[in-house]
Amino acid sequence: MRFVLLLIYITLSFNLHGQTFYEVDIDDRNLAIELNKEAEKFLNENRVKTALDRLLESISVDSVLRESYLLIYQLWLAEKSYTETIATVIYKGKQIFNDDDELCFYYAELLRFQSMLPEAILEYTNAMNYARRNGEDFYLVHYYYLNRGNCFLSMNMEDGALADFNYALKLKPDFTAALCGRGVCLFRKGNKDKACTDWQQALKLGYAPVKQYIDKYCK
């Protein structure tokens, strides 16, 4: 189940049989929702710093409103200069929502952007493990495998990358970025013909970046 139902009564957290439950004051929840709405408005107006300030305030008021973490990641996609701050916030979110594959994936993306590849691989793996329980039909799951595969590829670990690209294609057979990555793996492993087949299929499906490999290696 991807969404956590929270009872809103009074600020409190406690632990029962190893699981932490959170309750939030209704006024704090309403304030956090309003701050999120303001942040979204400012983000749409490209007032990124103001939007970030609103989101940080929202999370300070109510740290268990999941939508705040999703929105702050969308802010990061628009503006990378706040990477360290946003990574800290997303880490906090995934500690609260500790079986949330989506938040693990976002944290992995932030780590990968900072070239922290072993740490990113661990977080992608966490995301994959949670997705097996939460449901692999979620629209982002094939990206978990693609981007862990890209990390493996960057570290010259072609076997791991190949397994991830294969699984990404199992989840989404027309996934052109995975076809491109698998082609690179196959080429590095000495299987030029299969590599070119993957690249040509990706190009046929409209993935223009793969043309550089076809022009260079498949003539």
Task: Give the pLDDT confidence of 64-82 residue by residue, as tens digits.
Answer: 999 999 999 999 999 999 9
Contact status, residue 38 vs residue 47, Cβ threshold 8 Å: no
Q: How confident is the model at residue 163 (pLDDT cuts 50, 70, 90)?
A: very high
Q: How confident is the model at residue 10 (pLDDT cuts 50, 70, 90)?
A: very low
Whole-angstrom Cα distance, residue 62 to residue 28?
Answer: 6
User: CB neighbours (10 Å) of residue 89?
Assistant: 24
Q: Is the pLDDT of residue 6 over 60?
A: no
Q: Please provide residue 19's backbone torsions phi and psi, each rounded to the nearest 5 degrees.
A: -115, 135
Contact status, residue 112 vs residue 146, Cβ threshold 8 Å: no
What 3 state SS string does the chain have? CCCCCCCCCCCEEEEECCEEEEECCHHHHHHHHHHHHHHHHHHHCCCHHHHHHHHHHHHHHCCCCHHHHHHHHHHHHHCHHHHHHHHHHHHHHHHHCCCCHHHHHHHHHHHHHCCCHHHHHHHHHHHHHHHHHHCCCCCCHHHHHHHHHHHHHHCCCHHHHHHHHHHHHHHCCCCHHHHHHHHHHHHHCCCHHHHHHHHHHHHHCCCHHHHHHHHHHCC
pLDDT digits (tens, 9 = 90+) for 15-38: 433 346 678 899 999 999 999 999
pTM: 0.90
| Residue type, position 57, single letter | E
pLDDT digits (tens, 9 = 90+) for 79-105: 999 999 999 999 999 999 999 999 999
